A and B are shown apart, each in its own frame.
Chain A
Amino acid sequence: MENNKINVLFVCGMGMGTSTMAEIGVKNNLSKLHISANVQHTSLGQMESLREWADIVVILKNLFNQITVKEGEFILPVVNVMDGKGIAAQIEEIVVRHFPEAKGS
Chain B
Amino acid sequence: MSVVSFLVNDLLTTPTILIGLLILLGYILQRAGIVKAVTGTISAMVGLQLIIFGGSQFSAVFKPITTAVCEATGIQGYIMDSYAMKAASQEALGDAFGWMAYVFLIAFAVNIVFVMLGKYTKVKGVFLTGNAGTAHSQAMLWLIMANFALPSAATIVISGILVGIYWAYSTTLAAGVVDEVTDGGGFTVGHNQQIGIWFFGRLAPKFAGKKSIDCEDMKLPGWLAVFNNNVTSVALLMFVFVSLFCIPLGIDGITELSGGTHWLIYLIMVGIQFSMYMVILLQGVRMLCSELTASFQGIQQKLVPNAIPAIDVAALLPFSPNAATIGFLFCTLGTVFSMAILLVTGSSMMMLPGFTPLFFSGGPIGVVANKKGGLRAVIICCFLLGVIQTFGTCWAITQIHFASAAGWSGMFDLSTVWPAVIQVLRWIGSLFGVTV
Chain A: residues with CB nearer than 8 A to chain B? 12-18, 20-21, 24, 41, 43-46, 60-63, 65-66, 77-83
Q: 8 closest pairs, A vs B, by CB?
A: A17-B312, A45-B231, A62-B321, A61-B318, A18-B314, A18-B312, A60-B318, A62-B318
Q: Bound complex: CA of A61 vs CA of B312, how far in Å?
A: 16
Q: Would you call B231 and A46 a contact (CB within 8 A)?
A: yes
* Complex contacts, B309 vs chain A, CB 8 Å: 21, 82
Taking the nearest CB of chain B, how far is it from the CB of A81, in angstroms?
5
Q: Would you call B229 and A44 a contact (CB within 8 A)?
A: yes
Taking the nearest CB of chain A, how far is it from the CB of B136, in angstroms?
13
* Complex contacts, A12 vs chain B, CB 8 Å: 312, 314
Selected contact of A82 from candidates B187, B229, B231, B314, CB within 8 Å: B187
* Complex contacts, A46 vs chain B, CB 8 Å: 231, 279
Interface-facing stretch out of B12-20, B240-248, B290-298: B290-298
Q: Bound complex: CA of A103 vs CA of B286, how far in Å?
A: 30
Selected contact of A61 from candidates B187, B231, B321, CB within 8 Å: B321
A17 and B318 contact, Cβ closer than 8 Å, known pairs A44-B229, A62-B324, A66-B225: no
Q: Would you call A14 and B282 a contact (CB within 8 A)?
A: yes
Selected contact of A20 from candidates B187, B232, B290, B319, CB within 8 Å: B290
* Complex contacts, B228 vs chain A, CB 8 Å: 13, 44, 62-63, 66
Taking the nearest CB of chain A, how far is it from the CB of B194, in angstroms?
13
Interface residues on B, range: 35 or more
Q: Would you call B290 and A21 a contact (CB within 8 A)?
A: no
Q: Would you call B321 and A15 a contact (CB within 8 A)?
A: no
Main secondary structure of the interface of A (DSSP, over half): mixed
Interface-facing stretch out of B100-108, B126-134, B140-148, B160-168: B126-134
Is B45 located at the chain interface by the 8 A CB criterion? no
Selected contact of B315 from candidates A24, A41, A43, A81, CB within 8 Å: A81
Q: Bound complex: CA of A63 vs CA of B359, how far in Å?
A: 14
Is B272 located at the chain interface by the 8 A CB criterion? no
Is B93 located at the chain interface by the 8 A CB criterion? no
Q: Would you call A44 and B230 a contact (CB within 8 A)?
A: yes
Q: Would you call B318 and A82 a contact (CB within 8 A)?
A: no
Selected contact of A43 from candidates B182, B191, B282, CB within 8 Å: B282
* Complex contacts, A82 vs chain B, CB 8 Å: 185-187, 309, 311, 315
**Across the two chains, which residue of chain A brings its CB closest to B297?**
A24
Contacts A14-B282, A16-B282, A21-B128 known; 12 new A-B pairs at CB < 8 A = A13-B359, A15-B282, A16-B131, A16-B312, A17-B131, A20-B294, A21-B309, A24-B297, A62-B324, A65-B225, A80-B315, A82-B309
* Complex contacts, A41 vs chain B, CB 8 Å: 286, 290
Q: Would you call A17 and B130 a contact (CB within 8 A)?
A: yes
* Complex contacts, B286 vs chain A, CB 8 Å: 15-16, 41
Is B317 located at the chain interface by the 8 A CB criterion? yes
Q: Would you call B185 and A17 a contact (CB within 8 A)?
A: no
* Complex contacts, A44 vs chain B, CB 8 Å: 228-230
Within 8 A of A (CB), among B282-315: 282, 285-286, 289-290, 293-294, 297, 309, 311-315
Taking the nearest CB of chain B, how far is it from the CB of A90, in angstroms?
15
**Across the two chains, which residue of chain B brings its CB closest to A16?**
B131
* Complex contacts, B297 vs chain A, CB 8 Å: 21, 24
A45 and B230 contact, Cβ closer than 8 Å, known pairs A15-B282, A17-B132, A79-B318: yes
Q: Bound complex: CA of A66 vs CA of B309, how far in Å?
A: 29
Interface string of B356-383 (1 = CB under 8 A from A): 0001000000000000000000000000
Interface string of B176-209 (1 = CB under 8 A from A): 0000001001110001000000000000000000
Q: Would you call A16 and B318 a contact (CB within 8 A)?
A: no
**Across the two chains, which residue of chain B brings its CB closest to A41?**
B290
Query: Could you list 10 A-B pairs, sorted by A, with CB under 8 Å?
Result: A14-B131, A16-B289, A21-B297, A21-B311, A24-B294, A24-B297, A41-B290, A65-B225, A66-B225, A80-B185
